[in-house]
Amino acid sequence: MIFLDAIPPDLHTEYVLMYEARAIHDTASLQLSDYGLPARPLWIVAIVEPEKGSGSATVPGAYVDPATGRAVSPGGAAVVAKKGKWKAAAAADGSLPRAGDYYWTEPLEQRTRALTAEHFYSPFAYGGTILFRPELNAQGLAQFAAARLLFSEWEQSAIEALRGGNNLSDLFTRAAADPAALADVAKLALSGRGVMSTLAFRSLLANPAALAPRAPILFQITNARVLSTFVYLSLVSPTRDRSAWALEIGKLVGQTKEPDRLLAIAHGAFAATLFGDPAARASALEIVGALRKRTAALGTPLPQNSPLFLIFKKSGYM
């Protein structure tokens, strides 16, 4: 869930777009080993509910003088405050907390330095479903180690992946030499099961010779958000075949007419422009450019408050 009631209406599309981009990136980069697997599972999937005003800048100690009605600042530096609560949907075991509160501040000037996923969209400011490794003695964001934003409807697939993490890791390892295991991984990728499908596709990318013949079928996946993660992974994965994958995605753009699938491809490519290395960003921008031409040829409506319009604008095609 995104708490859009706390966001000015003219910025709704912007925040939804950044939510999509971060969730794509976070799911695609999720490593089961970050959550204690296979040795000692240590993870929580939780719903984060920020308080109103979380994520806003404030000056510690500032107040309104009742006599004048003016704001009085003690001269301290502005900070961003994040405050709210979380509730677990599932956890690795019963010893872990099921709910909690959070509060911390971040120096505002830090936000102008190297950008992280948290800068683009923060579930602690705007809400969402997250996966994290609890660090009970830590402070601030460090309490939520290896935090990953998940699409809310992928909550169950994330839980399945974590509870079956050892079996998944074994399957992905065997797929490198066992054709039967490789076929099972491909079947899992095509299942449309959110996190499970994404991890399976990432495993297939490590075996390009076996993956290449399956590429056209995999890109026909009907789940739009799974398609977004496939596009993103194809563009950012550090393999020698990235240029070939970009060509495959370009073909996909040319074959696609449905607006929702064009948007899914655009979401994956846009996420790559934010989180990929320079080569990935260049390829992703080419894909966005191809999408702009495709939507123009199809006469696809592009209202100014639509995600596609905003993607094209941010990528320099509007």
SS (H, E, C) 137-168: CCCHHHHEEEEEEECHHHHHHHHHHHHCHHHH
Does the residue 96 lie in any domain?
yes
How many angstroms separate the Cα of 18 from the Cα of each of 65, 72, 111, 162, 202?
38, 34, 16, 25, 22
- Closest alpha carbon to 2 in 10, 13, 306, 210: 13
pLDDT at 46: 98
Does the residue 65 lie in any domain?
no
47 and 101 share one domain: yes
10 and 153 share one domain: yes
| pTM of the predicted model as reported, rounded to 2 decimal places | 0.90
**Residue 70 scores a pLDDT above 70:** no
**Residue 6 scores a pLDDT above 70:** no
pLDDT at 73: 42
How many angstroms separate the Cα of 8 from the Cα of each of 3, 13, 118, 312?
11, 10, 20, 22
Does the residue 173 lie in any domain?
yes
42 and 136 share one domain: yes
- Give mean pLDDT, residues 146-161: 97
Does the residue 34 lie in any domain?
yes
Tell me the pLDDT band of 9, cut-offs 50, 70 and 90: low
Tell me the pLDDT band of 79, cut-offs 50, 70 and 90: confident
246 and 200 share one domain: yes
pLDDT at 39: 79
Structural domain for 34, as ranges: 4-53+83-158
pLDDT at 63: 39
Least confident range from 4-18, 56-70, 120-134, 196-210: namely 56-70
145 and 265 share one domain: no
178 and 306 share one domain: yes
213 and 250 share one domain: yes
**Residue 83 scores a pLDDT above 90:** yes
Does the residue 270 lie in any domain?
yes
Among candidate residues 113, 136, 158, the one where a domain is terminated: 158
20 and 125 share one domain: yes
pLDDT at 7: 62
Does the residue 70 lie in any domain?
no
271 and 249 share one domain: yes
242 and 143 share one domain: no
152 and 170 share one domain: no
Tell me the pLDDT band of 61, cut-offs 50, 70 and 90: very low
Strand partners, 150: 129
> How many C-beta neighbours within 10 Å does residue 205 have?
18
How many angstroms separate the Cα of 19 from the Cα of each of 63, 199, 271, 281?
33, 20, 10, 19
Does the residue 66 lie in any domain?
no
Among candidate residues 123, 158, 193, the one where a domain is terminated: 158
How many angstroms separate the Cα of 62 from the Cα of each of 46, 78, 287?
33, 10, 48
- Gap between the Cα atoms of 164 and 105, Å rounded: 36
Among candidate residues 95, 125, 158, the one where a domain is terminated: 158
Most confident option among 10-14, 81-85, 267-271: 267-271
The domain total for the chain is: 2
Dihedral over Cα of 85, 113, 306, 25: its sign: negative
- Give mean pLDDT, residues 37-41: 84
141 and 284 share one domain: no
- Gap between the Cα atoms of 167 and 172, Å rounded: 9
pLDDT at 60: 46
